A and B are shown apart, each in its own frame.
Chain A
Amino acid sequence: MKAGLEVHQQLATRKLFCPCPSELSEEVEGTVRRRLRATGGELRALDPAAAFESALGQSFVYEVVPTSCLVELDEEPPHAINAEALDVALTVALLLHATPIDEILVMRKLVVDGSNTSGFQRTALVAVNGWVEVGGHRVAIDTICLEEDAARKVSETGGEVRYRLDRLGIPLVEVATGPDLTSPEQVREVAQAIGALLRSTQRVRRGIGTIREDLNLSIEGGTRVELKGVQELRLLPKYSREEIARQEMLLRAKEELHRRGAKPPSGGPVDVSDLLRDAGPGPVASSLKKGGVVLAAPLPGFHGLLGRSAEPGPRLGRELADYARSVGVRGILHSDELPSEGVEASHVEAIRHRLSLAPQDAFALVASTDAAQALGALQRVIGRAALAWAGVPPETRDPLPDGTSRYSRPLPGRDRMYPETDVPPVTLSVDHLTALGRRLPERPEETRERIRGQYALSNEVAGVLLREGEADRFEALVRKGHAPALVVRLLTHDLPALAAVPRAEPMSEASETVLDTILTAWEKGQFAKEGVQPMLEGVLVHGRSLVEAASSAGLAPMSRPELEAIVEGVLDRNDALWRARGKAAQSPLMGDVMREVRGRRDGKEVAEVLEKALVRRLEGLGGAR
């Protein structure tokens, strides 16, 4: 494999072309409806991806939030580029040993999917030709860009896409490696190394979605495919492996098509609704019942190449279905998976006959209540099938949570950029660059060594803190007076464990204040270490306040008398046990007490109270035995 990475990191400065704060917001103040148009000449000349998006004829709805102004709405020209954000990008460039451009020019990158109200994303090449050392190897950094983030997609229904303006305009530093990565593990390591370097500037946003990776990957004989917007860094090796497998599958299919001497499909879709009137329950029957149609398209030479969904691994059938879905249908049925879904063997025979198929041929079906939509879907299927002769089509793909990916749109052309005439260029002075070079932040490897010594951490713990990007938070919390061991446990054990908690909404980022408060409560003995996890979950996953989280986790601070009352209650109920076993009853009784205390007091203290009470009762019996 050959892969390159683009790491996009949001900065914690104000927005790139307006003074709005770089913060997400849940407070929608109103909506605006827009259309975007990439004009004729420019589309044909410039960009297949833009043509594809513009052809969809969608209207876009933008949610206005308090963290947006007229600039995000494209109701006011962009202000001059945020000097602070530019300095962060330049600092990153210097950390990566790259050469800054003499005069930085802002470009407009055409994007008419609605994610930018203007119809383009503003981006500037800041520096080139750097490198980063990972695992003893130098990895080339081709470019460092500074660009504006896109609006956040909220929903997509029918022909309407809804975006929120909060994320639009947040500065992003984009670091692109050369196409030099050769293993799935190396992809992750390089992403981690670049991430740590970006965080070392201390000017980046944190939390899910604040750093996103685009993975460009091809294998021998394959084509460059872009997986856009990977948010879970730990899944990068999985995405790489899945994409390798997918390209291998496509190359095998290509070889087989050529071996069979098959020719790309030439016929168009055919209406087969009349052949399927008596189909059993399934998408076909339900579409026909609602007055819809079922169209079929011949796929010459594809018999056995499309795969069955029960089989593991990538399938060509799924690739065809993804293209069909891009026009809005739910999916396709194809002959490799039939009979099923109410389509019987006799139907399959009738369709094969209608399409005059040879044994090595396959076909695809689309059922829809909208005939035009079904036709469009099958035309896309036919178009995608024709690409199978070339092997791997160049595509932009969406990463899915299971490690696979889905077709999103054609790979953008190279020339989709033109100058942003509203923003003046920035000439970099040698003095300014020298000054930035003098106050470069500590490099990640220096930080690791320093905190290892300063806080007496093991090599491993210091490494984990750096890799997870927690070194600065670790230091901040320790400076607030918390014990390093507790902070390490919180940051490297309790917080990451939350990722496994199922949730509907993305988790909100743990602020330093929240972590500080939880640590303080813990240290004050308001709950034991068992209580840390439920507290974090309550606050970060369920969005509760600290007090609410404590009470719903049964962690409301417990007073000493409360604890003593629990202990007395347990002793009362287990009268026979402690009378029979004396001091040896402490350990079975401890379990009962802890169940009632539920982490609201430290275990050691509970044991002390229990022991004291037990001894007192045994003494009351006339002396311990």
Chain B
Amino acid sequence: MGEPTVDPRRKLAKLPTGSEVEITRPDGRTWHGILVPATEFSAENVVVLKLATGYNVGLAITERDVLTVIERARRPRTSKPSGPVAISPPPPATPWVALLTTGGTIASRVDYQTGGVKPVRDEREILESFPALDAEGPVRVVPVFERFSEDIVPSDWVALAEKIGESFRQGARGVVIAHGTDTMGYTAAALSFMVRDPPGPVVLVGAQRSPDRPSSDGFTNLPAAIHLARTGDLGEVVVVMHDGVSDDRFTIHRGSRVRKMHSSRRDAFESRNAPPLGHIEGKRIQLGSEARRPSGSPIRVDTRLDARAALVTYYPGLSPIRLRRFVRADRGLVLAGTGLGHVSRLHIRALRRLITNGLIVAMTTQCLGGGTDPFVYSTGRELVREGVVYLDDLLPETAYAKMLWALGQADDPARVRALLLEDIAGEFVHRRRLEGGP
């Protein structure tokens, strides 16, 4: 038993979380519990106690409260793995899968005291959350970086591309990248251009529900992704996510055609303009004829990127001055134009000047479905005459990733333009069919 203190607020501020305390309120009621971190939204003087019943309560502490420290925590309590999980080193004959982690919620563990989520760092931790993940064969966890999806930058794509190459060179059958879902489409597109002719599947997967909930989609889509990486007859970069809101069917999307189309649903990812490459149901992998099989050529990893480019969605009222200021330091600009690929006629002269000065301007459509076409309306005809590159049905994000890659490959604007229009990873659909809707 500690001694009651006179200044509860100052004492509490110094007390580590996990300490056991008693607080006697001015009304005479005594609260007994474990000190846990307050939330980001808690009022300033609020202290949060975890009661014996499991409930957390927030107490607004004033100088009239009396604090008794029952037991001071030695260091902040963290949930520890409850026991060693045996992981067999991959025998040379067994096909193994590299699981690259990036800090996305899918490969993370929850701290049940704070409710916070922490990334996993090794096989033991991932097998705690996914006990049967290595049932079919070994999985090697390779932490690449720890970042929220929205914090990922193009240099992280480079790090991932290098690890993919390294994994295959070490003999991995396939590579799975556990990635936050917000920018997974951008990463998938960039890797599609940077990693060519992979000898096995490169599978990006993420969770729309974090694994701190028993309902996380990661519990079913990560095993599906690993299964595809281990056994799939596939040699390209893909995204595997839920097909619908049920947990029993998954869709294989081409990395350069996929987009997150919903902020929260587990079936948020969609292949645009063409059907997905295939599906996974249980252990059955069904791949359509469009899916690229391993080519047999050696893998090529080219990590040259030039990030001096911008992606701008045109909107009514966007002024040429504002646009020009935005791209001042850039070599490339991807516009997500309206409809078939338009911006206001007011921009035509300004764009002409930018292009003359060396800026490469590419046009996509903010409709996110269908192709661009400069020849239907006069604005488009004028834009194409000024040198704007129309990228047909490339998604704006894919076009942005491709722009960075193309700028990294060549200095000559004509060469960059040619690369933009070349089909590198099956990113163009060109032949769009009625099925699937808009």
B52's nearest neighbour on chain A, judged by CB, is A414
Query: In the complex, what distance in Å separates the CA atom of A482 from the CA atom of B116?
Result: 59
Cβ < 8 Å to B, chain A residues 104-155: 104-105, 107-110, 112, 117-120, 123-125, 128-129, 143, 145
How many contacting A-B pairs (Cβ < 8 A)?
A: 148
Complex contact A33–B58 (CB within 8 A): no
B residues within 8 A CB of A73? 245
Mark each residue of chain B from 180 to 212: 1 if its CB lies under 8 Å from any CB of chain A, else 0: 000000000000000000000000000001011
Complex contact B209–A103 (CB within 8 A): no
A415 adjacent to chain B (CB < 8 Å): yes
A residues within 8 A CB of B57? 101-105, 125
Q: A99-B29, A102-B58, A419-B39 are in contact. Are A414 and B53 (CB under 8 A)?
A: yes
B60's nearest neighbour on chain A, judged by CB, is A102
Complex contact B115–A418 (CB within 8 A): yes
- B-contacting 9-mer, from A38-46, A183-191, A237-245, A574-582: A38-46
In the complex, given contacts A39-B109, A101-B57, A102-B57, what are 12 additional A-B residue pairs having Cβ atoms less than 8 angstroms apart?
A35-B219, A37-B219, A39-B110, A39-B211, A41-B82, A118-B214, A120-B213, A125-B56, A417-B53, A420-B115, A424-B39, A425-B46
B residues within 8 A CB of A125? 51, 53, 55-57
B379 adjacent to chain A (CB < 8 Å): no
A280 adjacent to chain B (CB < 8 Å): no
B residues within 8 A CB of A437? none
Query: In the complex, what distance in Å separates the CA atom of A99 from the CA atom of B27?
Result: 9
Complex contact B29–A34 (CB within 8 A): no
A36 adjacent to chain B (CB < 8 Å): yes
Cβ < 8 Å to B, chain A residues 5-55: 32-42, 44-46, 54
Cβ < 8 Å to A, chain B residues 56-97: 56-60, 79, 81-82
Q: A102-B59, A105-B48 are in contact. Are A45 and B79 (CB under 8 A)?
A: yes
- B-contacting 9-mer, from A74-82, A335-343, A508-516, A556-564: A74-82
B155 adjacent to chain A (CB < 8 Å): no
Task: Choose among A45, A143, A416, A418 the residue that contacts B82 (Cβ–Cβ < 8 A).
Answer: A45
A454 adjacent to chain B (CB < 8 Å): no
B409 adjacent to chain A (CB < 8 Å): no
Complex contact A103–B214 (CB within 8 A): no
A residues within 8 A CB of B113? 418
B22 adjacent to chain A (CB < 8 Å): no
B127's nearest neighbour on chain A, judged by CB, is A40
A residues within 8 A CB of B219? 35, 37
Complex contact B55–A417 (CB within 8 A): yes
Q: How far is the CB of A624 from chain B (nearest CB, A)?
A: 83
A421 adjacent to chain B (CB < 8 Å): yes
Complex contact A425–B55 (CB within 8 A): no
Cβ < 8 Å to B, chain A residues 393-425: 414-421, 424-425
A427 adjacent to chain B (CB < 8 Å): yes
Mark each residue of chain B from 97 to 117: 1 if its CB lies under 8 Å from any CB of chain A, else 0: 000000000000110111110
Main secondary structure, interface of A, reads mixed
Q: A45-B82, A101-B58, A414-B54 are in contact. Are A36 and B214 (CB under 8 A)?
A: yes
B266 adjacent to chain A (CB < 8 Å): yes
Query: In the complex, what distance in Å separates the CA atom of A74 from the CA atom of B54?
Result: 23
**Which residues from chain A sit less than 8 Å from chain B, CB to CB?**
32-42, 44-46, 54, 59, 70, 73-77, 99, 101-105, 107-110, 112, 117-120, 123-125, 128-129, 143, 145, 414-421, 424-425, 427
Query: In the complex, what distance in Å separates the CA atom of A294 from the CA atom of B209?
Result: 45
Query: In the complex, what distance in Å separates the CA atom of A418 from the CA atom of B219?
Result: 20
A residues within 8 A CB of B43? 103, 427
Q: A418-B112, A421-B116 are in contact. Are A103 and B58 (CB under 8 A)?
A: yes
Task: Choose among B82, B215, B265, B266 the residue that contacts A36 (Cβ–Cβ < 8 A).
Answer: B215
Complex contact B53–A112 (CB within 8 A): no
Query: In the complex, what distance in Å separates the CA atom of A82 from the CA atom of B270?
Result: 33
B162 adjacent to chain A (CB < 8 Å): no
B residues within 8 A CB of A38? 214
Complex contact B264–A416 (CB within 8 A): no
Query: In the complex, what distance in Å separates the CA atom of A37 from the CA atom of B51?
Result: 26
Cβ < 8 Å to A, chain B residues 244-284: 244-248, 264-266
Complex contact B29–A129 (CB within 8 A): yes
Could you list 14 examples of A-B contacts with CB < 8 Å? A40-B128, A42-B79, A46-B112, A70-B264, A70-B265, A101-B57, A103-B57, A104-B57, A112-B214, A123-B55, A129-B29, A418-B110, A421-B116, A427-B43
Query: In the complex, what distance in Å separates the CA atom of A425 from the CA atom of B60?
Result: 13
Q: A99-B27, A110-B214, A425-B41 are in contact. Are A419 and B60 (CB under 8 A)?
A: no
Main secondary structure, interface of B, reads loop
Q: How far is the CB of A277 from chain B (nearest CB, A)?
A: 39
A residues within 8 A CB of B54? 107, 109, 414-417
Complex contact A41–B41 (CB within 8 A): no
A37's nearest neighbour on chain B, judged by CB, is B219
Per CB-CB distance, the 4 closest pairs between chain A and chain B, nearest first, are: A103-B58, A119-B214, A417-B54, A419-B115
Complex contact A419–B53 (CB within 8 A): no
B378 adjacent to chain A (CB < 8 Å): no
Complex contact B245–A75 (CB within 8 A): yes
Q: How far is the CB of A101 from chain B (nearest CB, A)?
A: 5
Complex contact B79–A76 (CB within 8 A): no
Q: A125-B55, A417-B55 are in contact. Are A39 and B129 (CB under 8 A)?
A: yes
A44's nearest neighbour on chain B, judged by CB, is B82
Q: How far is the CB of A168 from chain B (nearest CB, A)?
A: 12
B149 adjacent to chain A (CB < 8 Å): no
A residues within 8 A CB of B46? 102-103, 425, 427
Query: In the complex, what distance in Å separates the CA atom of A425 from the CA atom of B245?
Result: 29
Complex contact B216–A37 (CB within 8 A): yes
Complex contact A35–B112 (CB within 8 A): no
Query: In the complex, what distance in Å separates the CA atom of A427 from the CA atom of B43?
Result: 7
Query: In the complex, what distance in Å separates the CA atom of A112 from the CA atom of B215?
Result: 9
Q: How far is the CB of A421 from chain B (nearest CB, A)?
A: 4
B5 adjacent to chain A (CB < 8 Å): no
Query: In the complex, what distance in Å separates the CA atom of A38 from the CA atom of B79?
Result: 15
B220 adjacent to chain A (CB < 8 Å): yes
Complex contact B128–A118 (CB within 8 A): no
A42's nearest neighbour on chain B, judged by CB, is B112
B residues within 8 A CB of A103? 42-43, 46, 48, 57-60
Query: In the complex, what distance in Å separates the CA atom of A109 from the CA atom of B39?
Result: 18
B171 adjacent to chain A (CB < 8 Å): no
B residues within 8 A CB of A46? 112
Chain A CB count within 10 A is highest, among B27, B29, B59, B213, for B213
A residues within 8 A CB of B48? 103, 105
Mark each residue of chain B from 23 to 39: 1 if its CB lies under 8 Å from any CB of chain A, else 0: 00001010000001001
A residues within 8 A CB of B131? 40
B residues within 8 A CB of A420? 115
B residues within 8 A CB of A143? 53, 55
Task: Choose among B56, B220, B248, B265 the residue that contacts A105 (Cβ–Cβ < 8 A).
Answer: B56
Complex contact B56–A107 (CB within 8 A): yes
Q: A103-B59, A425-B41 are in contact. Are A76 and B115 (CB under 8 A)?
A: no
B29's nearest neighbour on chain A, judged by CB, is A129
B residues within 8 A CB of A59? 247-248
Complex contact B41–A424 (CB within 8 A): yes
Q: How far is the CB of A320 from chain B (nearest CB, A)?
A: 31
Complex contact A75–B264 (CB within 8 A): yes
Q: How far is the CB of B182 from chain A (nearest CB, A)?
A: 14
A residues within 8 A CB of B264? 70, 75-77
Complex contact A33–B52 (CB within 8 A): no
Complex contact B209–A74 (CB within 8 A): yes
B40's nearest neighbour on chain A, judged by CB, is A424
Chain B CB count within 10 A is highest, among A35, A46, A75, A415, for A75
Query: In the complex, what distance in Å separates the CA atom of A42 from the CA atom of B113?
Result: 11
B residues within 8 A CB of A39? 109-110, 128-129, 211, 214
Query: In the complex, what distance in Å separates the CA atom of A101 from the CA atom of B47?
Result: 12
A residues within 8 A CB of B51? 125
B residues within 8 A CB of A418? 110, 112-113, 115, 212
Q: A74-B209, A99-B27 are in contact. Are A425 and B220 (CB under 8 A)?
A: no
